[in-house]
């Protein structure tokens, strides 16, 4: 065998091994989701038998969670909270981002980094005062309280994401509009906004995902009326003998929208995960 053939052969083997490793990584990442899906279409007996991989699927669990367990109410609660907190954060945050991106003033970076530091607050430190205040003014277990509390991480996130998107747009475009007689606000509306629209959409989707998935705050601040989907898992913990099939059905219903949203913003994912610090 010539050395060259030997070399290409070794490289081929190496590539196959690396591909197999990638396959392994992908399988590990996907498996719990697949298992959740399989559990959701199993009957109650099948859910506690891991050796069954092929079976007659049933939609019984899905029927049960919508008929017996008020899933519509929790979905509705989640949608209300997520929608309003996202709208308010994106509206307020985008303007603040514009202020940071386009003006020079004292201590600008200090303000920007102070805002970012709020995103790191532990939920346990936020939830105690909000729980007590909510109790005093009777706002516990309302959508409004959750919407307000969620602003505390969505506004900082929006400011940082949108600042990056706005800074990506050349100033000259805006300045040309001013020369043509636009006011600053008109220029924002006519020039900047159409250009940052994809960024606004991506940022909104990130806000939706993180609010939709939020558990710690919702768990303490709601009890019945305003309960969101992630907190419904507590039902399955308190009941003796977990009803895995229904639990998994709730999981599938709750996570499918998130996965679809995540695929839409895949391009901006790293940017979103690092608050705009790393653009890719």
Partner 1 sequence: MKNKKKEHYWYLLPSLLTLVAIVIFPTIFLWYMGFTNYDLTMGWEQHKLIGIKNFQYLAFEDKDFWHSMKISLWFMVFTVVIEFVLGLAIALLFNRRIRGKRLWMSFLIIPMVITPTIISLIWKLMLNTEYGVLNYILSLFSIAKINWLGYENALWSVMMVDIWEWTPFVALILYAGLQSLPQEPYEAVVVDGASPLQIFYYLTLPLLKPMIFIAILLRSIDSLKIFDIVYGLTQGGPGNATELMSMHIYRLGFRHTNWIGRASANAMVLLVIITILTNILLRIMRRGTREEF
* Cα dihedral value 255, 261, 266, 267, nearest 10: -170
Side-chain half-sphere CA neighbours of 229 within 13 A: 28
- Binding residue for partner 1 (CB under 8 A) from 184, 197, 223, 225? 184
Contacting partner 1 within 72-111 (CB under 8 A): 92-93, 95-96, 98-100, 103-105, 109, 111
Interface with partner 1, residue 124, by CB under 8 A: yes
Distance CA 220, CA 141 (A): 9
Find the part of the chain contacting partner 1 (CB under 8 A) among 5-13, 62-70, 196-204, 233-241: 233-241
Quote the least distance from Cβ 2 to partner 1, whole Å: 23
Find the part of the chain contacting partner 1 (CB under 8 A) among 5-13, 59-67, 125-133, 190-198: 125-133
Interface with partner 1, residue 278, by CB under 8 A: yes
Q: What letter would DSSP give residue 141?
A: T
- Binding residue for partner 1 (CB under 8 A) from 5, 54, 68, 129? 129
Quote the least distance from Cβ 55 to partner 1, whole Å: 14
Quote the least distance from Cβ 193 to partner 1, whole Å: 14
Nearer to partner 1, 19 or 67 (CB): 19
Buried residues in 258-274 as b, exposed as e (16+ CB within 10 A): eeeeeeebeebeebbee
- Binding residue for partner 1 (CB under 8 A) from 220, 221, 226, 246? 220
Find the part of the chain contacting partner 1 (CB under 8 A) among 1-9, 69-77, 196-204, 260-268: 260-268
Helix/strand/coil (H/E/C) assignment for every residue in 22-90: HHHHHHHHHHHHHHHHHHHCCCHHHHCCCCCCCCCCCCHHHHHHHHCCCHHHHHHHHHHHHHHHHHHHH
Quote the least distance from Cβ 252 to partner 1, whole Å: 9
Quote the least distance from Cβ 212 to partner 1, whole Å: 7
Say which residues have a Cβ less than 8 Å from residue 157's Cβ, sequence separation at least 6. 89, 93, 119, 203, 206, 207, 210, 275
Interface with partner 1, residue 130, by CB under 8 A: yes
Find the part of the chain contacting partner 1 (CB under 8 A) among 5-13, 18-26, 55-63, 192-200: 18-26
Cβ-contact 247, 236 below 8 angstroms: yes
Contacting partner 1 within 134-173 (CB under 8 A): 136, 148-149, 151-152, 155-156, 159, 164, 167
Distance CA 111, CA 266 (A): 29
- Binding residue for partner 1 (CB under 8 A) from 32, 57, 170, 198? 32
Question: Is the dihedral angle over the CA atoms 73, 137, 87, 277 positive or is it negative?
Answer: negative
Interface with partner 1, residue 199, by CB under 8 A: no
Token digits for 73? 């109410």
């Amino acid at each position: 065998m010539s050395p060259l053939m030997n070399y290409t052969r070794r490289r081929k083997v190496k590539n196959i091994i690396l591909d197999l490793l990638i396959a392994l990584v992908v399988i590990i990442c996907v498996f719990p989701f697949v298992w959740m899906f399989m559990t959701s279409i199993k009957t109650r007996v099948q859910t506690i038998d891991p050796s069954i991989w092929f079976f007659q699927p049933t939609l019984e669990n899905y029927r049960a969670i919508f008929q017996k367990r008020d899933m519509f109410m929790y979905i509705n609660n989640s949608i209300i909270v997520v929608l309003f907190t996202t709208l308010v954060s994106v509206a307020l945050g985008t303007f603040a981002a514009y202020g940071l991106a386009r003006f020079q003033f004292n201590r600008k970076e200090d303000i920007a980094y102070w805002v970012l530091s709020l995103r790191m607050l532990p939920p346990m430190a936020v939830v105690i005062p909000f729980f007590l205040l909510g109790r005093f003014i009777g706002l516990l277990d309302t959508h409004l309280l959750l919407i307000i509390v969620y602003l505390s991480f969505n506004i900082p996130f929006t400011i940082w994401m949108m600042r990056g998107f706005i800074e990506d747009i050349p100033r000259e475009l805006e300045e040309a509009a001013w020369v043509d007689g636009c006011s600053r606000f008109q220029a924002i509306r006519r020039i900047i906004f159409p250009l940052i629209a994809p960024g606004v959409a991506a940022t909104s989707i990130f806000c939706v995902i993180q609010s939709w998935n939020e558990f710690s705050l919702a768990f303490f601040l709601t009890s019945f009326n305003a309960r969101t989907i992630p907190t419904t898992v507590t039902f399955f913990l308190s009941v003796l003998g977990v009803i895995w099939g229904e639990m998994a059905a709730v999981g599938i219903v709750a996570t499918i929208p998130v996965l679809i949203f995540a695929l839409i913003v895949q391009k901006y994912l790293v940017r979103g995960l690092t608050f705009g610090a790393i653009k890719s």
